[in-house]
Chain A
């Protein structure tokens, strides 16, 4: 535990964005459009290495296999997106990183942070890393802050948990952070309670809390899902901005490919507790090699005027994680599924440079002109992509 507080944050980034102006959230957006292209590039240094992570929860009906062997590496300053539906194990795997899973969870595999094995650490060591080196932002800002403590207290608490400094100094640091995340009149707002903030503002507070100790890794678990669409973009920009201010890497967990698009250097797609496709975000978006990814892409509404831009949803629901199908867990919903898919579960295999996919038929996707077109309203008239007129209920 260090004695000195991390007071040397770059005070340059927040200029212009806060202070003087009559700050509405919308006004601020105009000033700081911060995109991934502006962000500092990733370094080679490996911060976090997850290898073959599995998590199971025993229940009365059998073990729920929430995560079934996930591996990835997070480099310094990198943004890694993890995408998947609810129940795909993306949140559970991030909670495992934080050591926040319930005691009943059975975890195996390894998670190393700068070479230290997180899973074999004593609880006190794990706690010393939490919030100090690895911080987390949760999905629902409305319930993630304690309603009975002032925002300033809750922020200062994060400093005091790791640094031996006077309370005043911790509060000063809290104010600085509120400034940085763009909360106007920070010194006044320190004394306010969470219910006096809007959802977007509360999420900014959560971001401030995450970066207050200059962490190396920020885990953002669906940070914008609970927010209004207009606020989402601002929060994401702010996240990128503060990441550079503290030189952190971000693990961005979301079910929304749209969030990943402008945010992540690399993307990992999860389905039924496994990673089914990994690669540079561009690869994932333009050359998906796993039908599930393609299906997700087809589910994004597009504003750019293609005449045939209809939604192409994936039918069905994810499998039970207690009774998984024998083969590829996506096969019951997959338009490309053949007998082999129901027999054996494919492993991740290289499909291009820095691009892996777990599919028996990734070559079929490579050949297709529009991979999303496999997901058709009417399976009879599957590819090639054509303008359909029948209604969506046709499924």
Chain B
């Protein structure tokens, strides 16, 4: 396995090196770097052209310029751009925003894409499956920049206008409730009557909820409150346990998960002061403690027989409860954030990755990032979700027809165990490759999204570089983008080997 990784690393390094050469040559020829200078008045022209030629080594052949770049890049110096600005500094400021966008979009696309794909495959030819397939096709065919512009122009303005007076009309409530009801009933694998009941119940509950929330002005000052936190956490505990070991009320995994939720709820009250304005480190430590405590709970309640189910059930529940508490805190700070002098009641932003010079608590900063990330991420997820959905569906359908899935059923395993332990585990293997392949597409998508939403991030390095015929910023961009692709490919290969013992052991 180590040999495998080492060899893979070696090959990747050479491939990447070759790619930088290709990229450099192309970048150097994309445009004429002297074009602007040529149009200057006669007296300035020669001096300007000489400066640029000197700075960019335009008098040397491309190959030499590449080698010069390479030798300095290896030492960590990415050179200067045509205007003489330090590219390292440019990269430093551009990098975080793009990474935020990419990470959010990748995680959301993978999580939702795979879940929807799996559900769709398990209900092959159902109404849900056909709807999902159709929507996936539409998303697959959407031009990203068009969606982005649409979201920016309509989405942001409409949401902000609505937030000024956040009440819902009866029509909107009705539509939202019906949509929620339909999706809930579509997710269930039961007979028609149960589905109709589910649909009716969820729709009515949703309608009442929305009406109450709208009437009490909740959307202007959102928050969950301890009661809702408790209810959600317990529901989460039941759901996770059902997923991990099946729905049995008095089973040890259920007890572990429920106690994890209970401890979480108590902590939400007791630790409240600690969460007033935390920093990242505090939250990280709290998360780690949560995982440790929940694992302990699972170990203790699970006993010898159930440990394997109880520990994950408890840990998932713990993290879920933590997430609910986090969400509550973010929501509570919304009113303050929205009233902030730099926001003035328009929290959904369409320009840049964050509000410049914004100062506030941790929660307000979180909201600020979220407000800026919301629409770009939505656009990016919308167009990349479809690939995962369709691929996962195909992979799952293929696996569900395999002989070993039949064997698993013949053993008398529950359908849940057949799907999670046999079908999912095998179906995910090809998805790892897709994830690696998709990162390139996502990077491409990210630079377009940045352009639409006016982010001064990595995309600017690329496009300014192309426009000015300047390889330095392009190469800086490529070191990060290409590097990410190479690393993702390697991770995918290793994950593949890890998931598939036929590769691992050969």
Tell me the B416-448 residues at the A interface (CB within 8 Å): 417, 421-422, 425-426, 429
Inter-chain contacts of A206 with B (CB < 8 A): 407
Inter-chain contacts of B171 with A (CB < 8 A): none
- The answer on a CB contact under 8 Å between B502 and A165 is no
- The answer on a CB contact under 8 Å between A158 and B412 is yes
Inter-chain contacts of B414 with A (CB < 8 A): 127, 161
Q: For B425, give the chain A residue with the smallest CB separation.
A: A148
- The answer on a CB contact under 8 Å between A146 and B505 is no
Whole-angstrom CA separation of A358 from B402 in the bound complex = 37
Interface string of A113-146 (1 = CB under 8 A from B): 0000000000000011111100110101001111
- The answer on a CB contact under 8 Å between A138 and B403 is yes
Q: For A128, give the chain B residue with the smallest CB separation.
A: B412
Is the CB of B404 closer than 8 A to any CB of chain A? yes
Contact A193 B501, CB 8 Å, known A138-B407, A143-B402, A148-B425 = yes
- The answer on a CB contact under 8 Å between A143 and B403 is yes
- The answer on a CB contact under 8 Å between A144 and B403 is yes
Is the CB of B500 closer than 8 A to any CB of chain A? yes
Inter-chain contacts of B429 with A (CB < 8 A): 148
Inter-chain contacts of B417 with A (CB < 8 A): 157, 161
Is the CB of A166 closer than 8 A to any CB of chain B? yes
- The answer on a CB contact under 8 Å between B408 and A146 is yes
Query: A155 to nearest B CB, angstroms?
Result: 9
- The answer on a CB contact under 8 Å between B411 and A130 is yes
Whole-angstrom CA separation of A100 from B410 in the bound complex = 7
Contact A148 B412, CB 8 Å, known A164-B305, A166-B304, A193-B502 = no
Query: A117 to nearest B CB, angstroms?
Result: 18
Interface string of A71-86 (1 = CB under 8 A from B): 0000000000000000
Chain B count of residues within 8 A CB distance of the other chain: 26
Q: For A158, give the chain B residue with the smallest CB separation.
A: B411
Whole-angstrom CA separation of A145 from B406 in the bound complex = 10
Is the CB of A167 closer than 8 A to any CB of chain B? yes
Query: B220 to nearest A CB, angstroms?
Result: 49
- The answer on a CB contact under 8 Å between A146 and B422 is yes
Is the CB of A209 closer than 8 A to any CB of chain B? yes
Is the CB of A392 closer than 8 A to any CB of chain B? no
Tell me the A16-31 residues at the B interface (CB within 8 Å): none
Contact A148 B501, CB 8 Å, known A138-B406, A143-B403, A166-B304 = yes
Query: A379 to nearest B CB, angstroms?
Result: 41
Query: Which residue of the partner chain, among B305, B413, B499, B502, contacts A195 with CB atoms under 8 Å?
Result: B502
- The answer on a CB contact under 8 Å between B426 and A100 is no
Query: B50 to nearest A CB, angstroms?
Result: 65
Whole-angstrom CA separation of A136 from B408 in the bound complex = 11
Query: Which residue of the partner chain, among A127, A129, A143, contacts B404 with CB atoms under 8 Å?
Result: A143
Whole-angstrom CA separation of A92 from B293 in the bound complex = 51
Tell me the A189-222 residues at the B interface (CB within 8 Å): 193, 195-196, 206, 209
Tell me the A65-114 residues at the B interface (CB within 8 Å): 98, 100
- The answer on a CB contact under 8 Å between B413 and A157 is yes
- The answer on a CB contact under 8 Å between B410 and A130 is yes
Inter-chain contacts of B304 with A (CB < 8 A): 166
- The answer on a CB contact under 8 Å between A157 and B409 is no
Is the CB of B308 closer than 8 A to any CB of chain A? yes
Query: Which residue of the partner chain, among B411, B425, B499, contacts A157 with CB atoms under 8 Å?
Result: B411
Tell me the A142-190 residues at the B interface (CB within 8 Å): 143-150, 157-158, 161-162, 164-167
Q: How many A-B residue pairs have CB under 8 A?
A: 84
- The answer on a CB contact under 8 Å between A161 and B501 is no
Contact A148 B499, CB 8 Å, known A100-B406, A166-B304 = yes
Whole-angstrom CA separation of A209 from B417 in the bound complex = 17
Chain A count of residues within 8 A CB distance of the other chain: 33
- The answer on a CB contact under 8 Å between B425 and A193 is no
- The answer on a CB contact under 8 Å between B502 and A147 is yes
Inter-chain contacts of B409 with A (CB < 8 A): 98, 100, 130
Q: For A131, give the chain B residue with the smallest CB separation.
A: B412
Inter-chain contacts of A100 with B (CB < 8 A): 406, 409-410
- The answer on a CB contact under 8 Å between B308 and A167 is yes
- The answer on a CB contact under 8 Å between B505 and A196 is yes
Whole-angstrom CA separation of A98 from B505 in the bound complex = 35
Q: For A195, give the chain B residue with the smallest CB separation.
A: B502
Q: For B406, give the chain A residue with the smallest CB separation.
A: A100
Query: A276 to nearest B CB, angstroms?
Result: 28
- The answer on a CB contact under 8 Å between B501 and A147 is yes
- The answer on a CB contact under 8 Å between A148 and B500 is yes
Query: A291 to nearest B CB, angstroms?
Result: 35
- The answer on a CB contact under 8 Å between B407 and A145 is yes
Whole-angstrom CA separation of A353 from B402 in the bound complex = 44
Tell me the B459-505 residues at the A interface (CB within 8 Å): 499-502, 505
Query: Which residue of the partner chain, among B308, B407, B426, contacts A148 with CB atoms under 8 Å?
Result: B426
Whole-angstrom CA separation of A125 from B422 in the bound complex = 21
Q: For A127, give the chain B residue with the smallest CB separation.
A: B412
Q: For A167, give the chain B residue with the smallest CB separation.
A: B308
Contact A130 B404, CB 8 Å, known A193-B505, A195-B502 = no
Query: A143 to nearest B CB, angstroms?
Result: 4
- The answer on a CB contact under 8 Å between B410 and A98 is yes
Whole-angstrom CA separation of A166 from B305 in the bound complex = 5
Interface string of B385-416 (1 = CB under 8 A from A): 00000000000000000111011111111100
Whole-angstrom CA separation of A132 from B505 in the bound complex = 33
Inter-chain contacts of B404 with A (CB < 8 A): 143-147
Whole-angstrom CA separation of A167 from B407 in the bound complex = 20
Inter-chain contacts of B403 with A (CB < 8 A): 138, 140, 143-144
Query: B438 to nearest A CB, angstroms?
Result: 23
Whole-angstrom CA separation of A132 from B409 in the bound complex = 12
Contact A129 B412, CB 8 Å, known A146-B404, A164-B305 = yes
Whole-angstrom CA separation of A146 from B419 in the bound complex = 13
- The answer on a CB contact under 8 Å between B412 and A130 is yes
Query: B482 to nearest A CB, angstroms?
Result: 32
Tell me the A217-269 residues at the B interface (CB within 8 Å): none
Inter-chain contacts of A135 with B (CB < 8 A): 410
Q: For B428, give the chain A residue with the smallest CB separation.
A: A148
- The answer on a CB contact under 8 Å between B407 and A146 is yes
Whole-angstrom CA separation of A161 from B245 in the bound complex = 12
- The answer on a CB contact under 8 Å between B426 and A147 is yes
Q: For B403, give the chain A residue with the smallest CB separation.
A: A143
Whole-angstrom CA separation of A209 from B409 in the bound complex = 12
Contact A157 B421, CB 8 Å, known A146-B404, A148-B501 = yes
Contact A162 B422, CB 8 Å, known A144-B404, A144-B407, A195-B501 = no
- The answer on a CB contact under 8 Å between B305 and A165 is yes
Query: B503 to nearest A CB, angstroms?
Result: 10
- The answer on a CB contact under 8 Å between B426 and A161 is no
Inter-chain contacts of B499 with A (CB < 8 A): 148
Query: A317 to nearest B CB, angstroms?
Result: 26
- The answer on a CB contact under 8 Å between B410 and A131 is yes
Q: For B422, give the chain A residue with the smallest CB separation.
A: A146
Whole-angstrom CA separation of A144 from B406 in the bound complex = 8
Query: A151 to nearest B CB, angstroms?
Result: 11
Inter-chain contacts of A158 with B (CB < 8 A): 411-412
Query: A356 to nearest B CB, angstroms?
Result: 30
Interface string of B291-326 (1 = CB under 8 A from A): 000000000000011001000000000000000000
Given contacts A131-B411, A157-B417, 4 further A-B contacts (CB under 8 A): A98-B410, A145-B404, A157-B411, A161-B411
Binding site for B on A (CB under 8 A): 98, 100, 127-132, 135-136, 138, 140, 143-150, 157-158, 161-162, 164-167, 193, 195-196, 206, 209
List 6 interface pairs A-B (beta carbons < 8 Å), by A numbering: A129-B412, A132-B412, A135-B410, A138-B406, A146-B404, A193-B501
Binding site for A on B (CB under 8 A): 304-305, 308, 402-404, 406-414, 417, 421-422, 425-426, 429, 499-502, 505
Closest 8 CB pairs of A and B: A131-B412, A130-B412, A143-B403, A146-B404, A131-B411, A193-B501, A158-B411, A136-B410
